[in-house]
Structure 1
Amino acid sequence: MKYKKIREEELKNKVGAEWFKQFDTTEILGNIDFTVFPKQDSLFGRTPLLWAEAKTGNFDVATMFVQLILTIGKARTFDKTMPPAFLGAFDFQKMAFVPYINIQDIFYLNDFNWNVTSSNHGTKEFKLIKDRIESTLKQKTYVFNYEKDEKELSTFINNNVAKATTKSKIKIDKNNFIPIYLRWLEFVKPIIDVNWEELNKANIYDSDFYLADLFVDDKGTQSIDDDLTIRDNLFVVFENQGYKIKKENIKQMFDATINLKKKETYQHFWKLYKRPPIKEFQDYIIYRKDLLVPQDIRERKGAFFTPRQWVELSQKYLTNYLGENWQDEYYIWDCAAGTGNLLAGLNNKYNIYASTLDQADVNVMHERIEHGANLLENHVFQFDFLNDDFDKLPKSLREIIFSEEKREKLIIYINPPYAEATNAKTVSRSGQNKSGVSTNYKVKEFYNQKIGNASNELFALFMAIIYEKIPHSKLAIFSKLKFIQGTNFRKFKTLFLADFVDGFISPAKTFDNVTGKFPIGFTIWDLNSKKAVEEIKCDIYNKNADFIGQKVFRGNLPKSINKWIKTFDNDENRIGLMVSCAPDFQHNKQLAILSKQQKRYCFSINQSNLIYFVVYYAVRKSIPADWINDRDQFLWPNDNWLQDDVFKSDCFTYTLFDNQIESKYGTNHWIPFTETEVNAKERFESNFMANIINGKAQLKNTTDKLLFAKNCKNSLSIEFSEEARETFNSGLELWKYYHSKENVNVNASIYEIREYFQGRNDIGRMNSSSDDVIYMELISDLRDKLKTLAKKIEPKIYEYGFLQK
């Protein structure tokens, strides 16, 4: 065979040199194995011709393509650069090609987990993609044997790959209008002759100009002389080879045509794409203009799209609460409406009001009304809820708000902005507050006196204003649940006194452009009933909108676990450090026991406080963080755990095999075995842990009290459960295997053993797996034993009050 028994890097080099010598195959693009680019740059950089998967054995073609697709989808490479004309896959024997356009819809699958390891062929995601593309590959794939099909392969490359850049214009659809926008920002925005700062103050953004460019009929020519807008009701339109502002209240500021500084650059850019977008996707692109709003602006303005499944479910909950005829009996106002999708499905347009910060969004809603949306045009209006006076509201809505009787029949139904002025960095004093979040609103200072730090949250400002200015109404709101649980909301809850009626939670990731594993709650409140908000019980729905149980969110909690552990901080005779982080699940990924001082505050671990810290660590790490428990708070425990030696030893065992100690930063005191047990080639620098385990040393606190009871059952100084013993046995096999290797670090920690076998990638991150089959079996077994041990620890966490159910 042509390339048999060579390494992958050599295979890629040879394929590049022999088959693609007229191209550049040296560029690295994320984790894609092999790329082909033209050697010469065009005006707008180089568009890739081929992305390919490379394998050294004899592989199934479909399997190689699935791995490539998972690699691309995980990194969303197509969002960062224009995709190629072809995807490819090759091994030592053959090369295959498939047109990118034939598989691109896969990258836009809903509810698909792209975070799986692409090389793991056993995942359901791998199988799903393989099932999806196999029929496509049978019809659309070109497969060539290097030796048998040498001439055909060369011809295909010359006639297809080489000429890929001269293909007809790219059609614009719902899958590529965002990547095209990202390129537009780089090449077209800089040549628009306008003061962007002044425009932004008037709530006009670059995305409005991009939409103006999209929605022109280019008449099939390369010239812009005949380009004609097809939608006059956009915020900005392309007209007379420039742009015209259509926003009525600022026309006088930008009355003249906004010109292009370099029309030839503009022409060259749009030469690549066929405008307007494909007709069937035009309404979608207008409807989803929120996706073009920059993330920081989107957070401040609430330009998020509420998924249809949660819109429908929220309206079902309102029906269950208010009765089947509630839409005829109640008024509804969405005061953070965006493009109005939260109101889809409501049927009494005479009772519905929608306001939004942006006139552009009002324009979209008015256009939707023209296409049949069940809203009244004069009930849809521009209104800055956090700043504008209620005198600016439509007369009919003012009459409802200022009438006590009608106000009791008013439902404020909203999905407001989720932006906050602080994040993990500001909390740790290593960063700055986000500029422009809440501080830009005149109500912020006023409500800071009433709700404290909760005023940093825009949704909290909405809630506070609704509570005070629209009393006795009903509030139906999508939001984070931190106003129940968060410590920054204690003062807020002294203002917001209301009766919780009903609600549900769903995964935040099901909401477009919301990142993180946490719950978004839909909660209904009766503002006519003044009750302290201490806890609420919500139904839980998974990403498929399946009911999976209930969850209690509590606000009146004991002191935090961090205040408890702080009482044991002691800097004498340090054997390790523990990074401090906020006491909830979402911050557990920051929690680590290590050897090197960090920028964050670190607690010192020594002989007198070791048990407290291993209990703290194991308690926080034993239960996996998920979107449901993400904001649950770890608490100051009761003292019953002090009498439970097995619980302590389980936590001790768990932490010994799950830490980030590194001997290169000082003596490793965390080796759980003796030199003899692991067949070490040299003496360890420290036998601290082994001495404790084997009864040669005892743990005492600063008052000289034993941290484990005497006369334990197993003749050691510590009583170990069966699950802990299994963990030790598994860990011992791993240590022995490591010490059987040549030139190893005799004082290696569990973290350093993992690093030895798994190595690190180009950016210094430890790889998730190793090529050493024996090691992978041993580390997998240890992880399984740790999971079993964690399950044993879990019920005690609730029993001893570290968490509340």
Structure 2
Amino acid sequence: MDLTDFKKLSEEPLKSSVAKAFFENFDFSGDKIDFIITYNHKNKGKPLWVEPILWAEGKKGKSEIFKSLTQLILTIGKHKFYTHFPPPYLGAFDAFSFAFVPYYKLDFIFTRSDIDFSVTPSNQTSESFKHLLNEITPLLEKEVLIFDYEMQKQELKAFIKDNLLYSKRSKIPVDKNNFVHVYFKWVEHVKPSISIEWQQAKKQGILDADFYLADLLSESNETILESLNTILKVNHYKFNKKLNNFGAFNFDETSFNDKQQAHSNFWSIYERPPKREFWDYIIQRRDLLVSDDVRERKGAFFTPKIWVEKSQEYLAKILGQDYQDEYIIWDCAGGTGNLLSGLINKANLYLSTLDKSDVSIVKERIKNGAKLLENHVFQFDFLNDDFFSEKVPKSLQEILKDQEKLKKLIIYINPPYAEASTTATRHGTGNNKPEVATTTFYTKNKSELGSAGRELFAQFFMRIYKELNGVTLASFSTLKNLQGSNFKKFREVFKAEFKGGFMVPADSFDNVKGQFPIGFLVWNTKADLSFRNPKPKLRELKGNYRFSETTTLSPKKANSKYNSLQEFLPCNLDMINSYKNNTSAPKLTNSKGQNEILQQNPLKLQNRISLEVFDSFGGFLGTKNIVIDDENNKPIIHFLRPFYDKKTEPIAFLRMIGADFQNSIGCFLTLTLTPNDVNTALSTPITTQNIYPIFLYLTIRHCIKATWQNDRDQFYAPYNDAWQDDNEFKNNALAFMLFHTQNRISLNASKTYAKRVGINHFIPFSEQEVNAKERYTSHVLLDFLKGKTPKKESDNLFDDPKKEIKPLEFSENALSVFNAGKEIYRYYHAQDFTNHDYNANASLYDIKEFFQGRNAQGKLNPPIKAKDGYYKQLYANLQDALKDLAKDLQPKVYEYGFLRE
């Protein structure tokens, strides 16, 4: 193709034409990065590895090259492609020219905290885009090489030949940005050639990551850092370093099974060792080379620097600015020691870790300036070893033996979080991992740990509380110990005094997935918080009876927030606890006085703590009260159980699980139940007798969006039965769930089900309203909406039989939801069904499937995949109406006590 024809091409043909014209010796592809050039290395015709050569952004016509490069950098940052093996060059091109810039000139950007990589890279009007463009323009003006297709065609081809062809370049350097990617290549090509049975070795704590580090940190095939637990000695490895009875070290040895050929081929491509400036970072980040199962068990998760610094700020606030001099600090799940970074009094610091290789790494770091004493770093299995064994330094043992000295010891940790069962296990799609929980400490204390014993961090906490009582515990962890239902027995024993803390998004930690909070909480384990129960004053609020606050400290008005209930809630760090008391009393009648209610319902305290909240970048978001789940707060299932109905014919099923936000996705309406739903009691029938409470239950679970901040928040049974008199709340809830995405009622049954209702009873509009072409099979919901509700003598939920039958009344926002939904139903029934099966009884879910279709895996496509633009607009209108209705429902959820704050 003539290069002048590039001007006529749209973007995709232009990319292919540029690749063919200038990169014919390479492979071309494109995905999230527009234009990817790679080279396929082979050894004797066998593919060895694919090397990235160029990442570029392409635009049709004439474009601004610097803006294209800015978009490319934001794309790389957004998807974290910088953690992959990077190419030597980045580029940008259009129909007239091609620009190159060396990758290493720009890689510093990906470690900058002031660049927001979460934005849409192509949005050139965003503040982040403008900020980055301004930052890199001076550098690009100096470093970018731009070649004009017409005027510099030969120069462009010469540049590619001289700079991009592998044969023209030296070995690929390994640095802090690509050492993990190189490791995965090493695992693929070198690891199989090492004569070790890796599965058996892994059980002994011998990991391939240490062999890789021995290779990487070597020169002339000899490991430079002799202190590592595994070292390369020309043609064999020495590993499993052990101190013998004579004070010398013994090693196991192994060699290669292919005369070191794969090893030689691999390291002929990469340059080693890395620059000296990267060594400490690489060995400190050994955690990135460790598999997830090992990381979870050993706690090898690197605490980001931002949270290390923040946690140390809180220690200073809580314990005083001189805490490093006044306290001894022990990180008993230390890994490679990054949690202790920033602490300077090395005589007062101890670090222990389960992994011997981590000990070797930390001691190597000490040689390079890490502020620790060599004899204060030791291998110790915290959940299995004896505190007074020879493993523990004598100086630390003396502290552990002395109750007064324990008061000046801080256990400062980011412990392992592995658990014996996961969400997948509970959903029937995963397996238990019993070996995770089986430790010496668990075996001796499982009755006190209860189900919490499945989680290793809970075992850490409990051993510290029971055997090192008196220390200050300062730990990162999930908030399950405060709120999780599996931690009930744990909370009955663990009565430490909360001193302060904060919470952050879990995904701000490396290799942690999911939207949930990680907290840093400081506890005084010596305090005995046997909560007293002084007689409070009764206060009435809209039919609910609440009681004035009682705290173990008297909060000062200046340091408190004053809320609409005229109660003080703490917001300062040094507040121990605050309480708001609630009864579960029945509604008062004229014949009952307050004293009688008090006699019938002994007062119980509701416990909560206050955490400051930060986003991933350390920005302060406010303060969140965490309600500590205990026997006084009954889970929401206690609200639902009285309405179970197994006698009446089901008209659908409620699928349910858990009592917190993280499990709400598993709560929905359906016509079918899987065998797992039935076997694990994750469901209950919906009948004409329990429509209100079940729809109310689902609305409560879904009207407030799940976020990382509320992920572990629990739903509770209400304070009392006052909600039953709130018809607007009940009717709004009915409207909300009829049109919510968790209404999965569908006549298209799943392939495997244990129970099924074969009729859609939940059509909210008459045949006339939506111009249906046939009569419906069922009018149950229509009758319910008209007020024709079957009565049940034992229930006080429904209208008195003597009362006049009246249609349900809905709020303005609820009617907007009905109207928006009606338009979707009408549009469906107005379709031409000549080539499609018509379903007069179609549910909203069926209608969505009709317009949106399913993907190759059989999952319902999102609305954006619908080809009908008018349907997409109707569906968007419905979502907007649901959002407005949700705002009406949310305050009621808190008012009646389904959520507490």
Q: TM-score range by the shorter chain?
A: 0.7 to 0.9
Tell me which moved more, 519-528 or 251-260.
251-260
- Given candidates 613, 618, 626, the residue that maps to 1:540 is 613
CA contact (8 A) 2:40 2:51 kept: no
Tell me which moved more, 308-317 or 792-801.
308-317
- Given candidates 728, 731, 734, the residue that maps to 2:821 is 731
- Given candidates 207, 217, 224, the residue that maps to 1:205 is 207
CA contact (8 A) 1:242 1:260 kept: no
Task: Pick closer, same or farther for the CA change 1:128–1:464 going to 2, 3 Å.
Answer: same
CA contact (8 A) 1:673 1:690 kept: yes
- Given candidates 620, 629, 633, the residue that maps to 1:558 is 633
1:371: how far off? Answer: 2.5
Aligned residue number for residue 380 of structure 2 = 383
Aligned residue number for residue 591 of structure 1 = 667
Aligned residue number for residue 399 of structure 1 = 398
- Mapping of residues 663-702 of structure 1, within 5 Å: 663-665=747-749, 666-680=758-772, 684-693=776-785, 695=786, 697-698=788-789, 700=791
CA contact (8 A) 1:94 1:143 kept: no
1:189: how far off? Answer: 0.9
Aligned residue number for residue 702 of structure 2 = 621
Deviations 1:735-774 (A, max 9, x none): 4444554337554433344444444555555246246554
- Given candidates 450, 453, 456, the residue that maps to 2:454 is 456
Distance in 1 separating the partners of 2:789 and 2:254? 83
- Given candidates 284, 296, 299, the residue that maps to 2:281 is 284
Deviations 1:562-618 (A, max 9, x none): 243244344654343332211101112222323332343333323222222211111
CA contact (8 A) 1:593 1:661 kept: yes
1:459: how far off? Answer: 1.4
Distance in 2 separating the partners of 1:540 and 1:86? 40
The answer to whether the aligner puts 1:798 opposite 2:894 as a matched pair is yes
Aligned residue number for residue 864 of structure 2 = 769
The sequence identity of aligned pairs, in percent, is: 42
- Mapping of residues 690-769 of structure 1, within 5 Å: 690-693=782-785, 695=786, 697-698=788-789, 700=791, 703=794, 707=798, 717-743=807-833, 745-747=838-840, 748-765=842-859, 766-767=861-862, 769=864
User: For 1:490, what is the secondary structure of its paired residue?
Assistant: helix
Distance in 2 separating the partners of 1:129 and 1:678? 52
Distance in 2 separating the partners of 1:49 and 1:454? 50
Task: Pick closer, same or farther for the CA change 1:56–1:375 going to 2, 3 Å.
Answer: closer
Aligned residue number for residue 221 of structure 1 = none
Quick one: which amino acid aligns to residue 196 of structure 2?
Answer: V
1:482: how far off? Answer: 1.3
1:619: how far off? Answer: 0.7
CA contact (8 A) 1:645 1:708 kept: no
User: For 1:751, what is the secondary structure of its paired residue?
Assistant: helix
1:325: how far off? Answer: 2.7
User: For 2:405, what is the secondary structure of its paired residue?
Assistant: helix
User: For 2:231, what is the secondary structure of its paired residue?
Assistant: strand
User: For 1:655, what is the secondary structure of its paired residue?
Assistant: helix
Task: Pick closer, same or farther for the CA change 1:88–1:779 going to 2, 3 Å.
Answer: farther
Distance in 2 separating the partners of 1:339 and 1:377? 13
Aligned residue number for residue 656 of structure 2 = 580
Distance in 1 separating the partners of 2:769 and 2:18? 50
User: For 2:883, what is the secondary structure of its paired residue?
Assistant: helix
Q: Which runs of 5+ in 2 are unaligned?
A: 532-606, 750-757
TM-score (norm: length of structure 2): 0.77
Distance in 2 separating the partners of 1:563 and 1:30? 50
1:483: how far off? Answer: 1.3
CA contact (8 A) 1:560 1:634 kept: yes
Aligned residue number for residue 221 of structure 2 = 227
- Mapping of residues 351-370 of structure 1, within 5 Å: 351-370=348-367
Distance in 2 separating the partners of 1:608 and 1:631? 32
Task: Pick closer, same or farther for the CA change 1:143–1:565 going to 2, 3 Å.
Answer: farther
Quick one: which amino acid aligns to residue 769 of structure 1?
Answer: I
CA contact (8 A) 1:609 1:701 kept: no
CA contact (8 A) 1:287 1:339 kept: yes
Aligned residue number for residue 326 of structure 2 = 329
User: For 1:248, what is the secondary structure of its paired residue?
Assistant: strand
1:263: how far off? Answer: 1.9
Quick one: which amino acid aligns to residue 562 of structure 1?
Answer: I
User: For 1:186, what is the secondary structure of its paired residue?
Assistant: helix
CA contact (8 A) 2:611 2:625 kept: yes
Aligned residue number for residue 716 of structure 2 = 635
TM-score (norm: length of structure 1): 0.86
Distance in 2 separating the partners of 1:366 and 1:39? 40
Quick one: which amino acid aligns to residue 185 of structure 1?
Answer: V
CA contact (8 A) 2:223 2:231 kept: yes
Distance in 1 separating the partners of 2:610 and 2:801? 45
Task: Pick closer, same or farther for the CA change 1:3–1:319 going to 2, 3 Å.
Answer: closer
1:297: how far off? Answer: 0.8
Task: Pick closer, same or farther for the CA change 1:602–1:5 going to 2, 3 Å.
Answer: farther
CA contact (8 A) 1:708 1:717 kept: no
Distance in 2 separating the partners of 1:335 and 1:246? 22
Aligned residue number for residue 643 of structure 2 = 568
Aligned residue number for residue 662 of structure 1 = 746
Distance in 2 separating the partners of 1:363 and 1:77? 31
Task: Pick closer, same or farther for the CA change 1:95–1:452 going to 2, 3 Å.
Answer: farther
Deviations 1:671-716 (A, max 9, x none): 43334434455555555444544x2743656857664689999x97
Distance in 2 separating the partners of 1:238 and 1:515? 35
Quick one: which amino acid aligns to residue 595 of structure 1?
Answer: L
CA contact (8 A) 1:412 1:476 kept: yes
Distance in 2 separating the partners of 1:773 and 1:128? 36
Tell me which moved more, 119-128 or 637-646.
119-128
Aligned residue number for residue 169 of structure 1 = 171
The answer to whether the aligner puts 1:344 opposite 2:335 as a matched pair is no
Deviations 1:206-245 (A, max 9, x none): 111111111123xxxxxxxx33332222221222222222
The answer to whether the aligner puts 1:787 opposite 2:874 as a matched pair is no
Task: Pick closer, same or farther for the CA change 1:597–1:726 going to 2, 3 Å.
Answer: same
- Given candidates 300, 303, 315, the residue that maps to 1:303 is 300
Deviations 1:176-225 (A, max 9, x none): 111111111111111111233454344331111111111123xxxxxxxx
Quick one: which amino acid aligns to residue 718 of structure 1?
Answer: L
Task: Pick closer, same or farther for the CA change 1:375–1:10 going to 2, 3 Å.
Answer: closer
Task: Pick closer, same or farther for the CA change 1:433–1:407 going to 2, 3 Å.
Answer: same
- Given candidates 220, 227, 238, the residue that maps to 2:232 is 238
Task: Pick closer, same or farther for the CA change 1:329–1:61 going to 2, 3 Å.
Answer: closer
User: For 1:523, what is the secondary structure of its paired residue?
Assistant: strand
The answer to whether the aligner puts 1:645 opposite 2:727 as a matched pair is yes
Task: Pick closer, same or farther for the CA change 1:345–1:143 going to 2, 3 Å.
Answer: closer
User: For 2:673, what is the secondary structure of its paired residue?
Assistant: coil
Aligned residue number for residue 612 of structure 1 = 693
Task: Pick closer, same or farther for the CA change 1:229–1:339 going to 2, 3 Å.
Answer: same
- Given candidates 46, 51, 61, the residue that maps to 1:47 is 51
Aligned residue number for residue 442 of structure 2 = 444
Distance in 1 separating the partners of 2:781 and 2:108? 55
Deviations 1:483-518 (A, max 9, x none): 122222222223323222222222222222222222
Tell me which moved more, 747-756 or 547-556.
747-756
Quick one: which amino acid aligns to residue 458 of structure 1?
Answer: L
Aligned residue number for residue 578 of structure 2 = none
Q: Give the structure with the higher percent strand.
A: 2
Distance in 1 separating the partners of 2:296 and 2:125? 38
CA contact (8 A) 2:500 2:611 kept: yes
Aligned residue number for residue 271 of structure 1 = 268
Deviations 1:129-187 (A, max 9, x none): 776777777777788999x7896799489748983686432211111111111111111
1:356: how far off? Answer: 1.6
User: For 1:47, what is the secondary structure of its paired residue?
Assistant: strand
Deviations 1:606-633 (A, max 9, x none): 3222222211111111111122211111
